[in-house]
Amino acid sequence: MARDVDQPRYLALFKQNVLILAAPNQVASGTTAPVSENYILRVSTKDAARFAFAVDNATLWFALRPQTKAKSAGSESITLANFLGDH
C-alpha cells in the first residue's frame, strides 16, 4: 500500500513496560508457553483497542529492555525535521 506523501511521518513511543508473553519462535524461560509466529503482549483492557488500532494502521517496533533495573524510556517523537537536526 502506498503511503500518502501529504501526511507527515513520525515515530513515537507508543507504550513502555509492556510484558511480552511470547515472541516469534522464542520460548520464554521458565514457562511452558507454546512457540508462536506472533508477538503476544499483556496489555490492559483500556489499552487493548489502542493496540488493535495500531496493529491495523501502523508499524509497531519493539525495543527490548532488561526485565529488572531498566531505566525509563524517553518520550521524544521523531519527525523528518528533528531527525535531520532542524529543531
pLDDT bracket for residue 62 (50, 70, 90): confident
How confident is the model at residue 4, as a pLDDT? 57
- Mean pLDDT score, 47-65: 88
Cα 64 from Cα 20, distance rounded (Å) = 9
How confident is the model at residue 53, as a pLDDT? 94
Is residue 11's pLDDT more than 90?
no
Phi-psi region of 25 (alpha: psi -120 to 50; beta: other; left: phi over 0): left
CA distances, 18 to each of 54, 65, 83, 85, 87 (Å): 15, 10, 26, 30, 30
Dump pLDDT digits (tens) for 16-49.
888 888 778 776 677 776 677 888 889 999 999 9
How confident is the model at residue 8, as a pLDDT? 64
Q: Which amino acid is at 4?
A: D
